[in-house]
Amino acid sequence: MPNAIQVAKDVLTPMGKRLKGIRLDSGDLAYLSKEVRRMLDQAGLEDFKIVASNSLDEFTIRSIWNQGGCVDSFGVDERLITAKSDPVFGAVYKLVAVHKDKACCPKIKVSETFEKITNPGCKRLWHVYDDKGNSIVDLLTLADETPDFSCEYPYIDPEKPWK
């Protein structure tokens, strides 16, 4: 939030533009919305909107309201179209590269949460099979890489390197 507030004041305001809002999509949404609202109000951005999302349903929204959350609108996605008893595949598309002219510039998302960090660059997915034709692992490489499957291919699970 401090960066967004600084950009709003130091960059956008001199250009005659105004920041409209922020989206909270993880963490304790009730707590975070109250903290964000406090920071925005202190910075004179009382009209700045707060949107919350992240697999929300009517129970989560009610809980946020009951905790005094300061959310202006909610992004309800897969919970709107599927019953709670049905399996839901939660997926998010992340930017990994930007093409400008004929050049590709890899991009990475940095986060304190390991799972949210992206691998930059265009990718290719390889399905790896054992000698009996059973799938054993999916391997992600850069688009122009070709793994050498003529010998054993070592891999490491970044969350469980001992595996």
> Model's pTM, two decimal places?
0.56
- First CA to last CA distance, the chain: 38
Whether 117 and 141 have beta carbons less than 8 Å apart is answered as no
Residue 23 CA to residue 51 CA, distance in Å, equals 5
Q: What is the DSSP string of 85-112?
A: TS----------EEEETTEEEE-----S
| pLDDT tens digits, 41-84 | 999 999 999 999 887 888 899 999 999 999 999 988 666 666 66
Whether 126 and 142 have beta carbons less than 8 Å apart is answered as no
More confident residue, 102 or 87: 102
| pLDDT tens digits, 91-144 | 566 778 888 888 888 888 887 777 778 888 888 988 888 889 888 888 888 888
CATH of domain 2-81: 3.20.20.70
Q: How many CB atoms lie within 10 A of CB 71?
A: 22
Residue 30 CA to residue 69 CA, distance in Å, equals 4
Residues of the chain with CATH 3.20.20.70: 2-81
